[in-house]
Amino acid sequence: MTDTIDFGSDFFFGSATSSFQIEGRSDAIPQGESIWDTFCAEPGRIADGSNGLVACDHVHRWAEDVQLMSDLNLDKYRFSVAWPKVIPTGTGAASAPGLDFYDRLVDELLGKGIEPMLTLYHWDLPQALDDVGGWLNRDTAYAFADYAQVVLDRLGDRVSTWTTFNEPYVSAGLGYVTGEHAPGHRNLREGLTAAHHILLAHGLGMERIRATVPDSDAGIVLNFTPVEPASDAPADVAVAAARQGWENEWYAGPIFHGAYPEATVEALGWDQSEVQDGDLALISAPVDVLGVNFYTRSVVSSVGQQIPFGTPRTEMGWEIHAPSLKRLLLWLHETYTPAKIVITENGCAMPDTERVDGVVDDQDRIDYLRNHLTMVHEAREAGAPIAGYMVWSLMDNFEWALGYEKRFGIVEIEADTLRRIPKASARWFAELAKTGVLPG
């Protein structure tokens, strides 16, 4: 047994989800197609051939889901707004039923004492905007700002934490470079353009947030996968440095330092022709909060990723390595000095095959969460300004290109009935959220 850890009353616990992964559709809320609807309809894109049409049916079960969060003693809930539900074709008139849906959700959360943390963009770009270039088109950044304004005007009086984007690295890198995500392009040059336009959209969105809700906490959510060379061999070190620049510094650099990481710009041979005067000033306007999503680390060599035989992994094949989270948090604190850090996602897909009395007995997930929370606490003790922790995810959901086969939830969604059944980890997390104390 290890010692118990008291996070104290100024630390919050919550959970996170995203629109496309949980909502599904309702006839009462007419919505536009998103790039993920299109992607799901393309044969071979999604491992189990599934889509987001029903997902967790949150669009109908949102009140029950808020009650669930309340039962789990959550302080905060991070969710994203679906742009195609609010402005079906990306630009132009807002849709009243879409805005009403989020309005009701926010009121329900506040009524149960759960603070909403809103993400404006979690990958579900309206298809109509992709039809005119998507993130390759600079105009999409301006469309994003106008969409942000619509949401701010409706919810700004009640939502106190606003983040612009979730994981631009994934939108640009997996969406435009590797093709694993929507819109499924495979072109590095496009990835660089998309990345810049997303950052520009972040800057434009921040301007709108500041102008509309000046007292709110505003920022962005970035994912980090610390990269380490497998050996001291110069070839391994060079690969690790290049990946570190693209995967971990490409967004934080412009936001916190007003510049793209130079060595990586050179390594990628980027001419920066899409960067216009004033863009970086806009992108680097101060943020109040940096959301950090962490799952794993990468150990790389000149021949690719190295995960030694016998290393513990999740169902995603990702190495389980909690100490990397502490190192990451301290590195972020020293390198970028964000005013406030929130762990906006951390969690794991596990087999979920053990059951006790019908309930998933996911001791492996509890271990994962406990070990990572311990590292969060240590980083906080060492001075990193970490305000809270949100588990990914509240419930099993649509895991993008992997469909419903990978389960990250602390609550099970029963196949067919979509009944919500808290797993052992949910009970464990509820106790932690209630007491603020991590049992030894």
Distance, CA of 302 to CA of 305 (rounded, Å): 9
Q: If we measure between CA atoms, which residue out of 221, 319, 181 comes closest to residue 17? A: 221
Distance, CA of 197 to CA of 428 (rounded, Å): 41
Binding to ligand GCO, residues 316-345 (CB under 6 A): 345
Name which of 18 and 31 has its Cβ closer to ligand GCO: 18
Q: If we measure between CA atoms, which residue out of 66, 138, 146 comes closest to residue 101? A: 66
Name which of 180 and 367 has its Cβ closer to ligand GCO: 180
228 belongs to the catalytic site: no
Work out whether 77 is an interface residue with ligand GCO (CB under 6 A). Answer: no
Kindly state the smallest distance separating residue 222's Cβ from ligand GCO, in Å: 10
**Which of 167, 249, 319, 399 is the catalytic position?**
167
Distance, CA of 337 to CA of 286 (rounded, Å): 11
Work out whether 408 is an interface residue with ligand GCO (CB under 6 A). Answer: yes
Work out whether 130 is an interface residue with ligand GCO (CB under 6 A). Answer: no
Work out whether 399 is an interface residue with ligand GCO (CB under 6 A). Answer: yes
Name which of 120 and 170 has its Cβ closer to ligand GCO: 170
Work out whether 404 is an interface residue with ligand GCO (CB under 6 A). Answer: no
Of 23, 65, 167, 412, the one binding ligand GCO (CB under 6 A) is 167
Burial of 328 (0-12, 13-18, 19+ CB in 10 A): buried
**Which of 23, 108, 345, 399 is the catalytic position?**
345
Query: Site mask, ligand GCO, residues 223-242, x = CB under 6 A?
Result: x-------------------
Region of 89-97, 164-172, 186-194, 306-314 interacting with ligand GCO (CB under 6 A): 164-172
Work out whether 293 is an interface residue with ligand GCO (CB under 6 A). Answer: yes
Name which of 270 and 404 has its Cβ closer to ligand GCO: 404
Work out whether 249 is an interface residue with ligand GCO (CB under 6 A). Answer: no
The dihedrals phi and psi of 228, each to the nearest 5 degrees, come to -125, 140
Name which of 97 and 179 has its Cβ closer to ligand GCO: 179
Region of 97-105, 134-142, 166-174, 416-424 interacting with ligand GCO (CB under 6 A): 166-174
The answer for residues whose C-beta is within 8 angstroms of residue 178's C-beta and 6 or more apart is: 186
Quote the crossing angle between the two packed helices 139-155 and 96-111, to the nearest 10°: 50
Name which of 5 and 426 has its Cβ closer to ligand GCO: 426
Work out whether 284 is an interface residue with ligand GCO (CB under 6 A). Answer: no
Q: If we measure between CA atoms, which residue out of 216, 212, 199 comes closest to residue 259? A: 199
Kindly state the smallest distance separating residue 303's Cβ from ligand GCO, in Å: 25
H-run or E-run covering 146: helix 139-155
Kindly state the smallest distance separating residue 131's Cβ from ligand GCO, in Å: 24
- Cis peptide preceding 393, ω within 30 of 0: yes
334 belongs to the catalytic site: no
Using Cβ positions, the residue closest to ligand GCO within the complex turns out to be: 167
Work out whether 166 is an interface residue with ligand GCO (CB under 6 A). Answer: yes
Distance, CA of 53 to CA of 21 (rounded, Å): 10
Distance, CA of 317 to CA of 401 (rounded, Å): 15
The string of DSSP letters for 357-418 reads TTEE--HHHHHHHHHHHHHHHHHHHTT--EEEEEEE-SB----GGGTTSS---SEEE-TTT-
Q: Strand pairing of 386-392 and 341-345?
A: parallel
Work out whether 392 is an interface residue with ligand GCO (CB under 6 A). Answer: yes
Work out whether 18 is an interface residue with ligand GCO (CB under 6 A). Answer: yes
Work out whether 135 is an interface residue with ligand GCO (CB under 6 A). Answer: no
Query: Site mask, ligand GCO, residues 344-363, x = CB under 6 A?
Result: -x------------------
H-run or E-run covering 279: helix 279-283
Kindly list the residues in this chain that would bind ligand GCO in the complex (CB under 6 A). 18, 21, 166-167, 170, 223, 293, 345, 392, 399, 408
Q: Give catalytic residues, as residue numbers.
A: 167, 345
